[in-house]
Structure 1
Amino acid sequence: MIRHIVCWKLAATDAVTKSEHAAEIARQMNELPALIPEILSLQVGENVLFPEVNWDVVLIADFDDAEALERYSVHPEHQRVGKYIGEVREDRVAVDIEL
Structure 2
Amino acid sequence: MTVRHFVTWKLAAEDAATRAADAEGIRTNLEALVGVVPGLRALSVHANTLYPENNWDIILESELDDAEALAAYQVHPEHLKVVEYVKPRVTERASIDFAV
Identify whether the pair has TM-score above 0.5, normalized to the shorter chain.
Answer: yes
1:44 matched residue in structure 2: 45
Give 5+ residue unaligned stretches, structure 2.
none
Q: Whole-Å Cα distance in 2 between the matches of residues 16 and 97 of structure 1?
A: 34
Q: Give the TM-score normalised by structure 1.
A: 0.97
1:75 matched residue in structure 2: 76
2:16 matched residue in structure 1: 15
Give the SS at the match of 1:43. Answer: strand
Give the SS at the match of 1:44. Answer: strand
What is the identity percentage for the equivalent residue pairs of Structure 1 and Structure 2?
41
Give 5+ residue unaligned stretches, structure 1.
none
Give the SS at the match of 1:21. Answer: helix
1:90 Cα offset (Å)? 0.4
Instruction: Give the 4+ runs in structure 1 shifted more than 6 A.
Output: none
1:15 Cα offset (Å)? 1.2
- Partner AA of 1:88 in structure 2: R
Which structure carries more helix by proportion? 1
Q: Whole-Å Cα distance in 1 between the matches of residues 98 and 76 of structure 2?
A: 21
Q: Give a deviation string over 1:52-81, Cα, whole Å, max 9, x none.
A: 011111000011111100000000000000
2:36 matched residue in structure 1: 35
The number of residue pairs the alignment matches comes to 99
